[in-house]
Amino acid sequence: MSDPQQSSDTVFGAIVRGEIPAEIVYEDDDCIAFRDLNPQAPVHVLVIPRIAVSGLQEADQADPALLGHLMQAAQTVARQEGLDASGWRVVVNVGEAAGQTVPHLHLHVLGGRALTWPPG
Ligand code: AMP
């Protein structure tokens, strides 16, 4: 189950509430997208739900429409950032071993350079 208290207490919860600054590139009623502080590609934007969902480890308890909406927001961001022609990648790290450091669901939208596979 989503834990609004826990996730709203993360740095991303603070960004949603406007308590700390972020370079927001897209927002709507359900999500916001802002530039990553430590970009791993020329375009590196994080798409997050406004409500607290700790990550895809809770996908079965999240609103499927919201999860789909986040994917569509990622497409909107990629298009807005001019990545349509070159291609782009969405990454969601789930849990510690995968590199998740912030327990508030976020989609990394990466592009602007060739992206290798497999990821590290
Ligand atoms: P993850 O490691 O998948 O949990 O991704 C967390 C991401 O959040 C990292 O890429 C960080 O660089 C980024 N990040 C952490 N704090 C901020 C912040 N205040 N503003 C923008 N990005 C942040």
pLDDT digits (tens, 9 = 90+) for 65-79: 999 999 999 999 999
- What pLDDT does 1 receive? 41
Q: Give residue 7's pLDDT.
A: 52
Looking at residue 120, its pLDDT comes to 84
pLDDT at 4: 43
The protein residue whose alpha carbon is closest to atom 18 in ligand 1 is: 37
Distance CA 117, CA 83 (A): 18
Catalytic residue among 44, 69, 104, 106: 106
**Ligand 1 centre from 102 Cα, in Å?**
7
Provide the residue type at 78 as one letter: A
The rounded distance, in Å, linking the Cα atoms of 13 and 74 is: 19
Give the pTM.
0.95
